[in-house]
A and B are shown apart, each in its own frame.
Chain A
Amino acid sequence: MNVIEARRLSKRYRRGVWALREATLAIPEGRVVALVGPNGAGKSTLLTMVVGLAVPTSGELAVLGGLVPGSVEALGRVAFVAQDPSLYPNLSVADTLRLAGNLSSRWDEADARARLAALDIPLRRKVGQLSGGQQAQVALAVALARRPGLLILDEPLASLDPLARHEFMATVMAAVAEEGLSVVFSSHVLAELERACDYLVVLARGAVQVAGDVDELLSEHSVLTGPAEQADAVTAGLCVVREQRTDRQSTVLVRDYDPVRVPAGWRAERTNLEELVLAYLRTPSVSALPGPASGNRTMAAPLRAVDA
């Protein structure tokens, strides 16, 4: 089952700006997905459509194996924590839980209370008087108490201090370990998701640029380093994501490279997730997407990007 399935999904705002353009994406069940991309890439647009707050201009979108986003069935199984938690500031924490419980088809009040008690968040305090980190934790406790199949977190860490970020991520990862739910995070800061996620989606300029299992992506990409004058000969015929040259040395990120064929004087190394994402983001013309039926990966535009 795919928890999110988008086919040629487009969203155009009234001003005529395309936030998403023909985005196609399939996210399998049980993953912790990092949705990354620069500001304005369409991350929030995609997520607001997944939770049913916005409707696509064209294309298809389904959640949790074919449910229509925003339908009662989908709302009952998709939980959402918005960028700024968007809770009612004048409600107490207890009343916030009661309100959410009264609006949810499934609700585990004891679970929410236990989470908040563990974090020393007083139930009688008004939400508006809590710190940003505590508000995020209340929103997360509400989301988890709804026993969702899919948890959507839109830039959850953006306004939190480092300690609060750590605690928030710890809560999410504990819930993933216990309940096996699928999680989609969005962020423009990859470093904070790197340890948590096992699936990566990179959005750039309204399109999906990279999508795949993190381990597979890392094993498929290699960094070749060698003398600059040989670079053209070495990279001919390879899938080059990004090449950086100085006068003497060339560093090339390549994909689907056979490490047995490393030429003399060159070195092949594995890359890390942050470098990989940055390389793609700096080279918007290149993408790495799952193939249609065969499962093979295809290079949409195997052009070399030279950045002297």
Chain B
Amino acid sequence: MTIGSIDETAARPRLPRLRGLPWVTWRQHRTALLVTTGLFTAIAVFLTVHGLAMHAGYRALGLDSCGDLHGPACQAPLDVFVHRYGAWPDRFATALMLLPAFLGTFVGAPIVARERDTGTYRFAWTLGRTRLQWLAAKLALPGAALTGLALACGLLAFWWYAPWVPPRGRLGSDMYHVMGTVFAARTLFCFTLAVLLGTLIRRTVPALATATVACLAAIVAPATWLEPLIQKPLDANIDTDSGTATGMTVNQWVVDPAGHRLTSAQTDDLDVQAGPDLVSKHQTFHSWLTQHHYTSWVSYQPDTRFWHFQAVETSAYLAAALLLAATALWWIRRPIH
């Protein structure tokens, strides 16, 4: 069997020319795919160049060898590193977090909508392939290309972020949305959602607009409300639990010396009460609380849960993408008129 399959491979030309539906898909969507590839290449070059400099800066400041990052030996170089590069994770996260929505819409929404809008479906769908075969190819190939590019970008961002893991952790950062596999899964999800909306709406511009809004909502809403629910958060004292520095904080509160949890209004009152001391002694509220035997608590997701969160979210978006693709395939078989 092994020998047979080797012979088969050898019989094929090395770089087979695209034929059939793959060629048609490439020819009709190459502009969108080239623009997407160009954009991802630019992002990759920037992440690589900037990342190499940032990683080098981290080592040059001795942050990889100064021991406990929160200890006194690391404090000064860490301040310099944060001053120099500290704004970049948020900048990147802001710039890239919503990219899946725009790219998925840009590539996906016109696929069926434009054919219906301009009437070319009468040509495309009366040649020798059924609508089902046609749409399956147009989902599979651009979908795979987008997902592959986004996955490469997400893994590169994962590498880029490495110096920030010791001081900040991955889970609590906004870069969480751009790192790892979630970024690619969201891109595929947005692409299939846009294809389905284009199939239903049948007009290019309304399909683009609706898909953009729907994709943005499908990224922002789960990130805001569902993500913290993936696993039950842990409660911890900020001062005694070292894990709290790098995790994702869900909630925080203050406990008074008698062991009662304060409401946020009570905490605000306390802040007002501490006001004069904070000004006169240049104290932080936190150290004032410690001095007065209050304790600060957080409910948080430890950073060790990063891959668990990524896996849960990735599977949810992939499952939804499959469902959307199946719906689009089912819908396109319906009669047109």
Residue A281 at the chain B interface, CB threshold 8 Å: no
The segment from A52-60, A209-217, A235-243, A282-290 found at the interface with B is: A52-60
- The residues in B between 87 and 139 inclusive whose CB is less than 8 angstroms from any CB of A are 118-130, 133-134
Residues of A contacting B127 in the complex (Cβ-Cβ under 8 angstroms): 75, 100, 103-104, 146
Partner of A105, one of B28, B126, B128, B134: B128
Residues of B contacting A55 in the complex (Cβ-Cβ under 8 angstroms): 334-335
Q: List 21 A-B contacts (CB under 8 A).
A: A45-B337, A53-B336, A54-B336, A55-B335, A80-B122, A82-B123, A84-B119, A86-B121, A87-B120, A88-B120, A89-B118, A98-B23, A99-B24, A99-B27, A99-B28, A102-B20, A102-B24, A103-B24, A103-B128, A106-B128, A139-B123
Residues of B contacting A100 in the complex (Cβ-Cβ under 8 angstroms): 127
Known pairs A11-B337, A54-B337. 7 more at Cβ < 8 A? A48-B337, A86-B118, A98-B23, A99-B27, A99-B28, A104-B127, A146-B128
Considering only CB atoms, which chain A residue lies closest to B114 in the complex?
A: A88
Residue A133 at the chain B interface, CB threshold 8 Å: no
Chain A residues within 8 Å of chain B by Cβ, number: 36
Q: Tell me the complex Cα distance, A84–B119, Å.
A: 9
Q: Tell me the complex Cα distance, A76–B126, Å.
A: 9
Residues of A contacting B120 in the complex (Cβ-Cβ under 8 angstroms): 86-88
Residue A156 at the chain B interface, CB threshold 8 Å: no
Partner of A53, one of B23, B28, B126, B128: B126
- The residues in B between 18 and 59 inclusive whose CB is less than 8 angstroms from any CB of A are 19-21, 23-24, 27-28
Chain B proximity of A140: nearest CB distance (Å) = 12
Considering only CB atoms, which chain A residue lies closest to B22 in the complex?
A: A102
Q: Tell me the complex Cα distance, A133–B128, Å.
A: 25
Residues of A contacting B21 in the complex (Cβ-Cβ under 8 angstroms): 102-103
Q: Interface on A for B, CB 8 Å cutoff?
A: 11, 13, 45, 48, 51-55, 70-72, 75-76, 78-80, 82, 84-89, 91, 95, 98-100, 102-106, 139, 146
Residues of B contacting A99 in the complex (Cβ-Cβ under 8 angstroms): 23-24, 27-28
B123 touches A87 (CB 8 A): yes
Considering only CB atoms, which chain B residue lies closest to A13 in the complex?
A: B337
- The listed residue with most B CB atoms (<10 A of its CB), out of A78, A86, A89, A105, is A86
Residues of A contacting B336 in the complex (Cβ-Cβ under 8 angstroms): 48, 53-54
Chain B proximity of A6: nearest CB distance (Å) = 16
Q: Tell me the complex Cα distance, A133–B129, Å.
A: 27
Considering only CB atoms, which chain B residue lies closest to A84 in the complex?
A: B119
Q: Tell me the complex Cα distance, A80–B134, Å.
A: 17
B335 touches A85 (CB 8 A): no
Residues of B contacting A84 in the complex (Cβ-Cβ under 8 angstroms): 119
B335 touches A76 (CB 8 A): no
Residues of A contacting B334 in the complex (Cβ-Cβ under 8 angstroms): 55
Residues of A contacting B20 in the complex (Cβ-Cβ under 8 angstroms): 102-103
Q: Tell me the complex Cα distance, A79–B123, Å.
A: 10
Chain A proximity of B204: nearest CB distance (Å) = 14
B130 touches A82 (CB 8 A): no
Partner of A70, one of B27, B118, B122, B130: B130
Which 3 A-B residue pairs are closest in the complex by CB-CB distance? Answer: A55-B335, A103-B127, A82-B122
Considering only CB atoms, which chain A residue lies closest to B119 in the complex?
A: A86
Considering only CB atoms, which chain B residue lies closest to A70 in the complex?
A: B130
Residues of B contacting A85 in the complex (Cβ-Cβ under 8 angstroms): 123
Chain B proximity of A139: nearest CB distance (Å) = 7
Contact of A72 with B128 at beta-carbon distance under 8 Å, contacts A53-B337, A98-B23 already known: yes
Instruction: Fill in one digit per residue for B320-337: 1 if any A CB lies within 8 Å of its CB, else 0.
Output: 000000000000001111
B23 touches A75 (CB 8 A): no
Partner of B129, one of A11, A54, A103: A103
Residues of B contacting A80 in the complex (Cβ-Cβ under 8 angstroms): 122, 126
Considering only CB atoms, which chain A residue lies closest to B335 in the complex?
A: A55
Q: Tell me the complex Cα distance, A104–B133, Å.
A: 12
- The residues in B between 113 and 167 inclusive whose CB is less than 8 angstroms from any CB of A are 118-130, 133-134
Q: Tell me the complex Cα distance, A102–B27, Å.
A: 11
Chain B proximity of A53: nearest CB distance (Å) = 5
Q: Tell me the complex Cα distance, A91–B26, Å.
A: 13
Contact of A86 with B123 at beta-carbon distance under 8 Å, contacts A99-B24, A102-B21 already known: yes
Residues of A contacting B124 in the complex (Cβ-Cβ under 8 angstroms): 103
A102 touches B23 (CB 8 A): yes
Contact of A71 with B130 at beta-carbon distance under 8 Å, contacts A53-B337, A102-B23 already known: yes
B126 touches A52 (CB 8 A): yes
Instruction: Fill in one digit per residue for B1-28: 1 if any A CB lies within 8 Å of its CB, else 0.
Output: 0000000000000000001110110011
